[in-house]
Amino acid sequence: MSEQTFVIVGASVAGAKAAEELRSAGFEGRVLLIGAESERPYERPPLTKDYLRGDAPREKTFVHEPGFYEQHQVELETDATVTALDVAQSRVTLADGRMFDYDRLLLATGAEPHRITIAGSELDGVHYLRTLADCDALRERLQAGGRVVVVGAGWIGSEFAASARQGGLEVTVIDPNSLPLEHIFGAEIGTFYRDVHRDHGVELVLGDGVEVFEGERAVSRVRTTTGSVIECDFAVVGIGVAPRLKLALDAGIKVKDGIVVDEKLQTSGPAVFAAGDVARAWHPFYDAPIRVEHWSNALNQGPAAAHAMLGEPVSYDHIPYFFSDQYDVGMEYSGHAPEWDEVVFRGDPADGEFMAFWLHDRRVVAGMNVNVWDVNEHVQTLIRSRQPIDLAALEDRDTSLDSLVSEPTTQR
């Protein structure tokens, strides 16, 4: 084992945590962690939150302390892009011509923002937010103040809008849906977030799209599909991300909205694994493939992939989980709910502290807690139980969530 080389492509959360886990598990061979970005691995959630606002230091964004990689003999290659993967030769090639042979390979190449292709999108001042460099540019914008148009009321758009308002900017959010985050949560929670943003002074232009960015050299106006004109000093586009598939695709590895992996996180390519935003993994609990674009999935799936690379039995079955902070509204969401019949509330959203549950056939498929804490494990227990739930008890704040499940299941 000790002569083996394990290569990880993508030096972000999934890749860095996989490298850490290989060492924790006692792997003594060579570990190469190759990343296209200049920074050592960092976390992206602060980039729409405290780091963006200037409330947290840059150091707080990094996955590991400086020196971690040297101390653990992880060869971290930054500014290094893998341009080709040859699965027959078990070899990766970098943009600078270097080649590395591997015994096991982990693809943790993540996702990249969809680019907007309308007229004017090449103007200065049209920003995206995925990397620390993107965030640094936007921090300067926030410091300068003024007016910003946010294109897209999904996670990035909503969190950026909140931070920009907190920084005192005038913020307009444009989205073709009728409510923020509606495609994920439906109308009830979409309405809640719409009101939160309105109450904080965000102008919401919903049911409308951006037709064109206008300006001389830099964007200074946005024209919408219904003909509204919104003046701005800059714009931020958050219209979703796409998994980075090119390496896998060119290598003949099976992809379908992500790199297809089994529950052991193994791809169709020999000795090649995938984890994080890029992986569409077979999920044993859902008996279906799912791809999760959230931090905790990258955090947990990277280490799981490390164990699979070591030949250990792995069955990755974490219930998807994510969190979001907007203004003073902190929330956690667990579950996977492509469809549901009803949404049940425990507490009143108008009070700003509540839980919401998405049910299918009276079974909880997802749950959210807003400014209510230490309940996430109980939500996951409800989901894992798959039991029909007494709705009155679910709504009742005085009934413990665990008591709704006759035989609580534990997470494997």
Ligand X SMILES: Cc1cc2nc3c(=O)[nH]c(=O)nc-3n(C[C@H](O)[C@H](O)[C@H](O)COP(=O)(O)OP(=O)(O)OC[C@H]3O[C@@H](n4cnc5c(N)ncnc54)[C@H](O)[C@@H]3O)c2cc1C
Residues near ligand X (CB under 6 A): 9-15, 34-37, 44-45, 47-48, 81-82, 108-111, 129-130, 156, 244, 247, 276-277, 293-296, 298, 322-324
Q: To the nearest whole angstrom, how small is the minimum distance from the Cβ of residue 277 to ligand X?
A: 4
Q: To the nearest whole angstrom, how small is the minimum distance from the Cβ of residue 63 to ligand X?
A: 9
Round to whole Å and give the CA distance between 277 and 297. Answer: 8
108 or 394: whose CB is closer to ligand X? 108
On whether the CB atoms of residues 334 and 380 are closer than 8 A, the answer is yes
61 or 224: whose CB is closer to ligand X? 61
Q: To the nearest whole angstrom, how small is the minimum distance from the Cβ of residue 302 to ligand X?
A: 7
Strands lying side by side in the sheet with 203-206: 126-127, 234-237, 147-151, 170-175, 203-206
Q: To the nearest whole angstrom, how small is the minimum distance from the Cβ of residue 141 to ligand X?
A: 15
On whether the CB atoms of residues 354 and 348 are closer than 8 A, the answer is yes
Q: To the nearest whole angstrom, how small is the minimum distance from the Cβ of residue 217 to ligand X?
A: 27
Strands lying side by side in the sheet with 259-261: 259-261, 279-283, 288-291
By C-alpha distance, which of 238, 242, 244, 233 is closest to 210?
A: 238
82 or 389: whose CB is closer to ligand X? 82
On whether the CB atoms of residues 18 and 305 are closer than 8 A, the answer is yes
On whether the CB atoms of residues 314 and 301 are closer than 8 A, the answer is no
Q: To the nearest whole angstrom, how small is the minimum distance from the Cβ of residue 395 to ligand X?
A: 27
Q: To the nearest whole angstrom, how small is the minimum distance from the Cβ of residue 198 to ligand X?
A: 22
Beta carbons within 8 Å of 7's beta carbon, 6+ residues apart: 32, 34, 92, 100, 102, 104, 105, 106
- Indicate the helix (H) or strand (E) that contains 24: helix 13-24
106 or 355: whose CB is closer to ligand X? 106
User: Furthest-apart CA pair in the chain: how many Å?
Assistant: 65
Task: Give the E-state strand segments of 305-353 in sequence order.
Answer: 321-326, 329-335, 342-346
Round to whole Å and give the CA distance between 175 and 288. Answer: 30
Round to whole Å and give the CA distance between 310 and 122. Answer: 46
Question: In angstroms, what CA-CA distances link 347 with 159, 369, 394, 397, 411?
Answer: 24, 10, 10, 7, 27
Q: To the nearest whole angstrom, how small is the minimum distance from the Cβ of residue 248 to ligand X?
A: 10
Burial bucket for residue 230 (CB in 10 Å: 0-12, 13-18, 19+): middle
Round to whole Å and give the CA distance between 21 and 173. Answer: 41
17 or 378: whose CB is closer to ligand X? 17
46 or 120: whose CB is closer to ligand X? 46
112 or 214: whose CB is closer to ligand X? 112
190 or 320: whose CB is closer to ligand X? 320
282 or 295: whose CB is closer to ligand X? 295
Q: To the nearest whole angstrom, how small is the minimum distance from the Cβ of residue 322 to ligand X?
A: 4
Q: To the nearest whole angstrom, how small is the minimum distance from the Cβ of residue 393 to ligand X?
A: 29
58 or 223: whose CB is closer to ligand X? 58
